[in-house]
């Protein structure tokens, strides 16, 4: 895919930081020496790690040059490198590998989790959060619009794969750790109408659907999608809509 847009992503920073804060709150470490933020994006989750662990060596990695540039501007004292979450190997055993909303893009992330657990320092923690919202109207309607237009053939496979059930994570990860916590939280984000839902998703879930289209097709696709979103998410008060957003959390201690 083309590079990610930090500007679009950060329009909804509060909504994106909330699950990162909730994940970090469950990390049972007091003074880790080495912390890695995998898929750090524009540094919004890295900033939380810096605040929680000011004495730690903190490293952020991402595949997006644009996101890394924004992260370096935000946190000039932190080291950020370009690296792929699927294959990245730390230069030393980390005490914490933190991954906020990145591994849902990797169909084989279970094997990556097992590898990362094996690379942790003794007592180290793997902490992961992933959107688990493919059954929500936002994502079902993306696919509905994708198959209902002249772009159908080009958008086959645009949707990411669904997450495995919690039992699959437990079965794969428990042999590698002494403690494993898995939970699912559904957020209800108040947003300013259907257009705000669409705008929030442009930098994430909608991106693979929009990139294969030319400018005119994108406009038509977004108009059709926005109309369907408006039907699926009626206003609840003062034109506010509630965006249901389920997310899966995993905290594994080696």
Strand partners, 128: 99, 250
How far is CA 41 from its chain centroid?
9
Q: Could you give the angle at the alpha carbon of 196 between the alpha carbons of 98 and 209, nearest 5°?
A: 70
Task: Yes or no: say if 252 and 179 are a contact pair by the CB < 8 Å rule.
Answer: yes
- The pLDDT of 35-64, averaged and rounded, is 96
- Strand 179-191 with 125-131, pairing: unpaired
Which tops the pLDDT comparison, 203 or 114? 114
Burial (0-12, 13-18, 19+ Cβ within 10 Å), 200: buried
pTM of the model: 0.94
pLDDT at 3: 54
Express as a percent the part of the chain with pLDDT over 90: 90
* Per-residue model confidence (pLDDT) at position 13: 81
- Cβ neighbours for 11, distance < 8 A, ≥ 6 positions apart: 199, 200, 203
Q: What is the DSSP letter of 240?
A: B
Cα dihedral sign for 140, 143, 147, 148?
A: positive
Please tell me the predicted confidence (pLDDT) of residue 4: 57
* pLDDT beyond 90 at 140: yes
Token reading at 34: 């080495």
């Amino acid at each position: 895919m083309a590079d990610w847009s930090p500007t679009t992503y950060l329009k909804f920073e509060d909504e994106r930081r909330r699950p990162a804060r909730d994940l970090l709150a469950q990390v049972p470490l007091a003074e880790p020496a080495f912390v890695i933020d995998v898929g750090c994006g524009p540094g919004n989750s890295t900033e939380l790690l810096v605040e929680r662990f000011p004495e730690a060596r903190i490293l952020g990695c991402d595949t997006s040059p644009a996101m890394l540039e924004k992260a370096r501007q935000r946190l000039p004292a932190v080291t950020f490198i370009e690296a792929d979450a699927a294959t990245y190997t730390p230069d030393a055993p980390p005490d914490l590998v933190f991954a906020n909303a990145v591994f849902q893009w990797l169909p084989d992330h279970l094997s990556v989790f097992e590898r990362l657990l094996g690379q942790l320092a003794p007592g180290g923690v793997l902490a992961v959060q992933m959107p688990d919202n493919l059954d929500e109207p936002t994502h079902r309607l993306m696919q509905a619009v994708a198959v209902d237009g002249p772009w159908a053939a080009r958008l086959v496979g645009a949707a990411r794969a669904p997450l495995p059930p919690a039992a699959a994570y437990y079965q794969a990860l428990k042999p590698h750790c002494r403690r494993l916590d898995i939970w699912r939280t559904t957020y209800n984000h108040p947003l300013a109408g259907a257009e705000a839902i669409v705008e929030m998703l442009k930098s994430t879930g909608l991106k693979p659907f929009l990139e294969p289209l030319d400018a005119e097709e994108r406009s038509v696709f977004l108009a059709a999608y926005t109309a369907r979103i408006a039907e699926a998410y009626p206003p609840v008060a003062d034109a506010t809509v509630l965006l249901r957003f389920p997310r899966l959390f995993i905290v594994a201690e080696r």
